[in-house]
Amino acid sequence: MTSNNSNDDDVPILDVTSDNDQTPLLNDNPILSTPNVDTILVPSISRYRLTNIIRILLFVEFVTILIIWLVGTSTHSLIDDIIHYRLTTSIFDLVAISISKFILLIIFLTELETFIIARLYQPNSRPLFIFIRYFYIVSLIVLSICSLAFAIIKLIFVLRAFHLSKLYLSTVYVFLVFSSIEFIGMILMIPYLSRVKLLEQPRSTKKKVDLKRLFSLSKSERPFLITGTLFLLLSSLTQIVQ
């Protein structure tokens, strides 16, 4: 009996405490041992953010110029504007540029914003992040500068020639104003994106299924969706005019 008791006393005791303090690493308290799943990290962006304002401006510009061009069929033939194009007598170039700008800038804005948000959750690979970020920013600024420069050149030549009607001349002014605002917005994009960060918010138990969520999930198909929507809108407006 004596030898058995001595063997029991020699059994080592496992110490499951940390080195820094005496808090047990294994805790029976379910509140302390369970991670906090009531909150999630979300980017600090809102529905009325700068990128959405620029998207709205691009859409309004495209629709306005397209409507003026279609309404102007009473004084100009749409076919003549395309086939017999001249810088001082046609605004088909503004329609084409506004459509191209609408598609390209929205794609670049969406990709840049998505990449910035993804970078917040994965803060590694800094050199690659810097390259991609500045590639999108420079592309957006260059496109907006080209649009603004063309608007200024177009207005100068039109005012010298006096060949455009007042309706079409107003289109040139509209294009110039929108291009100026969009250029300023692209410049403001740089400090805006640097202030985006992750914030904690309560976890939502239910996820709404709507068109916005569906569009956010179809990342790879966004260019096709946008292009198809634009051509559908253009076809509908053409049929209305006819």
pLDDT in tens, 4-25: 554 555 545 444 444 444 444 4
Q: Any idea of the CA torsion for 51, 54, 59, 60, to the nearest 10 degrees?
A: 140
Residue 71: predicted pLDDT: 80
Residue 143: predicted pLDDT: 93
Residue 165: predicted pLDDT: 74
Residue 142: predicted pLDDT: 94
Give the pLDDT band (50/70/90) at residue 148: very high
In Å, the largest CA–CA distance within the chain is 118
Examine the pLDDT at 187 and tell me if it is beyond 70: yes
- The residue ranges of every structural domain in the chain are 54-197
Quote the percentage of the chain above a pLDDT of 70.
55
Examine the pLDDT at 114 and tell me if it is beyond 50: yes
Examine the pLDDT at 184 and tell me if it is beyond 80: yes
pTM above 0.85, yes or no: no
Quote the percentage of the chain above a pLDDT of 90.
19
Give the pLDDT band (50/70/90) at residue 183: very high
Q: Which of 20-34, 84-98, 158-172, 191-205 has the lowest mean pLDDT?
A: 20-34
Examine the pLDDT at 42 and tell me if it is beyond 60: no
Answer for the pair 57, 178: CB distance below 8 angstroms, yes or no: yes
Q: How distant is the alpha carbon of residue 185 from its chain centre?
A: 13
User: Tokens for 82?
Assistant: 């395309």
Give the pLDDT band (50/70/90) at residue 34: very low
Answer for the pair 78, 70: CB distance below 8 angstroms, yes or no: yes
Answer for the pair 140, 108: CB distance below 8 angstroms, yes or no: yes
| Closest by Cα among 77, 74, 98, 105 to 89 | 77
Most confident region among 31-45, 71-85, 172-186 by mean pLDDT:
172-186
**Radius of gyration from C-alpha coordinates of the chain:** 30
Q: What mean pLDDT, rounded, does the chain reach?
A: 72
User: Tokens for 60?
Assistant: 């309004």
Q: At what angle do helices 222-241 and 92-121 cross, to 10 degrees?
A: 150
